[in-house]
Structure 1
């Protein structure tokens, strides 16, 4: 079992070693927390540098401003036609956002008039079916609603394969931000975090996902690498990431910071664990009916692992600076003119 897990880990990391851009799909709720914005900015900068090919962005929540906000950010980085998938099926919840509408209304986007309204599961199927091999990396930083819908999807015009078989054939690695490790112990039933908002989907994905699945944790781990202080110094009429963070923090935004749980997931997905993150690759994730998780050494699932700790806690400021630098890097095509107020 240990040898099998080692082989799977190497295979899942193989795309990181390739000179070709890593094909990535980003799945986000883009509503209740602002770290999604920094993570999406990070992916665009990585795409500008040739590290990745950003195939699409999926929306896992039902806030009507999430997709337009994503479209504004994509447009800012010179990718106005990047496909955006909407939450699939009847599951999924609507959460309020302190920034999504503000960004969508302040910066150019035409999601509701130009983009074909397509559910994420259908878009996933189309994108995965078009790949010639199992090379796609998926990063989810929101609810797991779309991931469950993909697994449940049936054969269609894109592929004769069912969802689980299609994932097995075309996805190299899935990095899921959620929840806390080794266990999330809150006894309450409040719907917070990425696992509790749609616990049925969370359990289904954890139980059925057929390829390497890496979980990345939040809580104090992500708090130790918080960012935002420098981002909010950028001109909010020019930078959507600055407007998002200022809107999230409110009028007293100066000096405030927010965790980087989603940026951690992106970094692990694209560059792997080294040199910063410890990995636990023995055991499996157990998720209860309300979405609480606990890691156990037994049974040892060969394609499950997590990271929720730095190899050297002293590296936290260095990693935070890296994340903030990503968020503050201009688009490859240069900065656009300030948004009209």
Structure 2
């Protein structure tokens, strides 16, 4: 009789164990975004992807740091977060960052009136006293489980270099490098050129060249780079902007897209590729280079050297996967 009773007990134990593993597997991935919204429209598309991932419970977007040093970008990002019902998300700002110019779509979208009403309703501004980007990063990382955070960086790397160069503070006794090493699982960064198709310094890298060199030199965990050549092969279709969004005529993303350049145009998806790989690496949308080391030279060029012990890789894509990957990008922006 004792042996017969043990069978259901063992089955129950196995079931509970299996349930526990399943629950852990479904825990949303903690994500931090560092962005230069305003310089290109792909930042807004990437941000919308992240909000849609969060709505599907795949991620927990811990915070957003802004590397573009223009006060109106704070208002735009805050308003866009509120549009997606995330008005409480922590924001950080690079007060001495690069590119103070407002460029096109940030001020125009903020000032747009449709049916006599604004389409973005920010509550935070430069007067709100946002923390320095690297200070917010330290605070967010210190509160997360070890080796759990995915960081996505899609602009100049000012905040990230400041994080790595930071010392102990009220949030952690660890310096920046050690804090990252303890808390971050992956850095997915849009920056560099890794093919023979182009021979120039990629924009994100050269904007804050000193910061870029620091990040690629000091980053202590896995780093996956998406180069200029990758996003150039995947063009976001303007038809999606025109047709895929409910009330698209007043959707902030669609308005910003139409303001950024003369329609119709299909924009490169540079920043989007870093988001898609970071959060769905198992879907094989991209191939990875061999392991190695990426060095940023004095002119801003990204030099990759293969090495079995290297922590850096970069993304590639087969021609046969372009259509499927582009559709995945569009679906995630739209929220299908």
TM-score by length of 2: 0.84
Give the Cα separation in 1 of the matches to 2:260 and 2:67: 20
Give the Cα separation in 2 of the matches to 1:56 and 1:176: 16
User: Is residue 103 of structure 2 the alignment partner of residue 94 of structure 1?
Assistant: no
Q: Provide the secondary structure at the position in 2 that maps to 1:65.
A: helix
Give the Cα separation in 1 of the matches to 2:59 and 2:299: 35
Structure with the largest fraction of strand: 2
Matching residue within 196, 212, 218 for 2:228: 218
Q: CA deviation at 1:95?
A: 4.1
Contiguous gaps of at least 5 residues in structure 2: 1-23, 112-118
Tell which structure's C-alpha radius of gyration is larger.
Answer: 2
Q: Is the 8 A contact 1:184 1:293 kept in 2?
A: no
Correspondence for 1:153: 166
Give the Cα separation in 2 of the matches to 1:184 and 1:97: 28
Correspondence for 2:177: 164
Asked which structure has the greater RCO (Cα within 8 Å, sep 6+), the reply is: 1
Paired residues, what number? 303
Q: Is the 8 A contact 1:139 1:266 kept in 2?
A: yes
Moved over 6 A (4+): none
Matching residue within 202, 205, 222 for 2:212: 202
Give the Cα separation in 1 of the matches to 2:127 and 2:54: 23
Q: Is the 8 A contact 1:231 1:242 kept in 2?
A: no
Aligned-residue CA RMSD (Å): 2.1
Contiguous gaps of at least 5 residues in structure 1: 1-16, 331-341
TM-score by length of 1: 0.83
Give the Cα separation in 1 of the matches to 2:270 and 2:41: 10
Give the Cα separation in 1 of the matches to 2:175 and 2:80: 33
Give the Cα separation in 2 of the matches to 1:104 and 1:134: 38
User: Is residue 134 of structure 2 the alignment partner of residue 121 of structure 1?
Assistant: yes
Q: Is the 8 A contact 1:128 1:136 kept in 2?
A: yes
Matching residue within 70, 74, 78 for 1:71: 78
Q: CA deviation at 1:101?
A: 1.6
Q: CA deviation at 1:322?
A: 2.2
**CA distances 1:44-70 after superposition (whole Å, capped 9, x unpaired):** 000000110000111011122222111
